[in-house]
Amino acid sequence: MQRPSVIAWGIAALTACASGQSGDANAVDETGADASGTAASVGDHEGSSAASLDGTDTNEPGACGNGVVDSPAEYCDDGPMNSDSAPDACRTDCRLPRCSDGVTDPSLGEECDDGQNNSNQPNSCRATCVLPRCGDGVADLSEACDDGNEAWGDTCYACDNYYYFILNSADLAGRGDVSIIRTTRDSDPVEIVGGDPSYNGIRQLALAPAGAALYALQSSANTHRVLSFDPVDGTLMQSVDIGASVLGYEPTPYALARASDGLLYVALAGLGITRLVAVDPGDATVVEAVNLPGVAVADMAADDTGHVFISTGAVDNSVLRVDLAGGVPTYFLTGLAAPIGLTFDPVQQQLWVANNPAGAPVQVVRASVSGVVTPYSVAGTDIAPYVRGLAIDTGQVVLATERELDRVVAVQNFDAVQDIFTDMVVAPTDIEILAMNP
C-alpha cells in the first residue's frame, strides 16, 4: 500500500480533532497520526521502511535485488550479493551467470570471458569461454597452423607445419644428378635444389635451428664443401670449402651432423686416418677436431649433450660414441648387422639405428643413452633396401629412406611399414624433418 505524505498525515490529524474522534492516547490510526492529533515523525516511518535512496522499494514483490525470486523475469536473486563482477554470482539483473557476460565463472567451466569481445578469431577468448588452444581450429599467435585435429598424416600436426627434405642422390660416389625436394604429408613435392651439376655429390643433409638453413655435405672429384641452402626456395646462401686448400690434404668426406654446440661436424678420411673436422657456419671457419684412427664411417648423428655417434657399416658392425669435448671415441653398440642409418631422438633420449643385413629384411634398433638396446625388430619384409637416412617424425614415428625401392617409409610400432613419400623420390639417401611455416 502506498504511504501518505507528511502533509496528508497533518490533514488527517486535524480532521480527526474537528470530528471529535477520541480513543487511546497512544493509539495511532491508519493514517499515521496518534490519537492526540500529533503526527508521527518522518524518521520513525523511514526507519520501518525498506525504501531505497532512489525511491524504489527493493522489498516490494517482484523487485530484483529483494533477495526473493518472485518474478517470471528473475532467474535468481541474492539481494545485496547480486554482482556483475564476482565469479559465479547472480547478476544485478537477476539473471544467472553465463558465457559472454564479461565475468569468468569457474562453476560453468569458463576459462575466460571477455564479454562481447569473445571470438573465434586468433588470440581471443573463444565464443565458448575457453582459452585458445591447439586443436580448436584457430591458428593463434604461437601456432603455425591449427586444423582442428591431432591426426598424424597431414601437414599440420601439433599446430606446426611439418616439412620434409629428401635428398635424392643417384650415386654416393658423386656421379649423377642430385636433387633435394621439400614436401609435406598431403601436398605435392617441390624441388628446391636440382638440375645443377655443380651440386652433384651431395650425400647428406642437416638442419639449422628453426630452419634458418638447410646444410648439405658435398664430395665430388676435387670438390669438397659444406653448403647452406635456403630451405624455402633452395637459394645457395653459403659455401664452406673443406678440401685440400683448407685442410692441407685431399679428404674423403663421409658424413655430416650438426652438434649441440652449434657446429657442423664432418667425418672424413685423410692422411690415412679418420678425422672429425668442425665447421662453424657463422664465420665459415674449419678446424680439426678429433682423430679417429681405424674407424670406418657409414653415417653420423649427434645428441644434445656434446656427443656424436658413428655407424661403421659392415666393416665393424658397431656404433661408436665420440665425446666432442674430450675427443675420446668409445664403443656404444656392438654386434649389429651392417648398421648404416642413424638418428637421435632428443625427446625420448634414444638413438635409432638402421641395420642392413645381407639377404634379410632391414632392421630398426633403438638404444637408450646408457646403451640399453631394445631387441631387434623387423621393419617389414624389404630385403636389402639400403636404408641410410633416418629421421624422427612427430609421435616418435621413424621415417627411413629406402634407396633401392625409391621411397620413404614410416616404421611404426617396430613392425609395420607404411609408404609415406614416393613422388619424385629416386634413390633417396637422406631425410630431414622441420616444423616451419614458409
Pairing of strands 390-392, 398-402: antiparallel
pLDDT of residue 6: 30
Q: Does domain 156-435 have CATH number 1.10.260.40?
A: no
One-letter identity of residue 3: R
Nearest-angstrom CA–CA distance, 316 and 337: 9
State the DSSP H helix or E strand holding residue 44, giving kind and residue range, or none if neither.
Answer: helix 42-47
Nearest-angstrom CA–CA distance, 13 and 15: 5
What are residue 218's DSSP bridge partners?
202, 225
Q: Is 90 exposed, middle or buried (0-12, 13-18, 19+ CB in 10 A)?
A: buried
**Which band of pLDDT confidence, cut at 50, 70 and 90, is reported for residue 203?**
very high
pLDDT of residue 12: 36
List of residues 6+ apart from 387 with CB closer than 8 A: 340, 341, 354, 356, 362, 400, 401, 402, 403
Nearest-angstrom CA–CA distance, 292 and 288: 11
For residue 330, how many other CB atoms are within 10 A of its CB?
Answer: 10
**Residues 108/120, Cβ–Cβ less than 8 Å:** no
Measure the CA angle with vertex 205, ends 201 and 208; round to 5°.
Answer: 140
- Per-residue model confidence as pLDDT tens digits over 212-266: 999 999 998 889 999 999 999 999 999 999 999 999 999 999 999 999 999 999 9
Q: Is 33 helix (H, G, I), strand (E, B) or coil?
A: strand
| Domain layout of the chain by residue ranges | 1-49, 156-435
State the DSSP H helix or E strand holding residue 12, giving kind and residue range, or none if neither.
Answer: helix 6-18
- Per-residue model confidence as pLDDT tens digits over 140-171: 887 878 888 766 556 677 787 788 999 998 65
Instruction: Write down how long the chain is.
Output: 438
State the DSSP H helix or E strand holding residue 402, giving kind and residue range, or none if neither.
Answer: strand 398-402
Say which DSSP state 28 is in.
B
pLDDT of residue 358: 87
Q: Taking residues 316-336, what's their average pLDDT?
A: 93
Q: What is the pTM of this model?
A: 0.69
Can you tell me which residue has the cell 559465479? 88
Pairing of strands 328-333, 339-345: unpaired
List of residues 6+ apart from 47 with CB closer than 8 A: none
- Per-residue model confidence as pLDDT tens digits over 80-137: 999 999 999 999 999 999 999 999 999 999 999 999 999 999 999 999 999 999 889 8
Q: Who has greater pLDDT, 370 or 351?
A: 351
pLDDT surpassing 60 at residue 8: no
Of the candidates 327, 296, 294, the one whose C-alpha atom is nearest the C-alpha of residue 310 is 296
Nearest-angstrom CA–CA distance, 328 and 307: 10
Nearest-angstrom CA–CA distance, 314 and 356: 9
Nearest-angstrom CA–CA distance, 90 and 68: 12
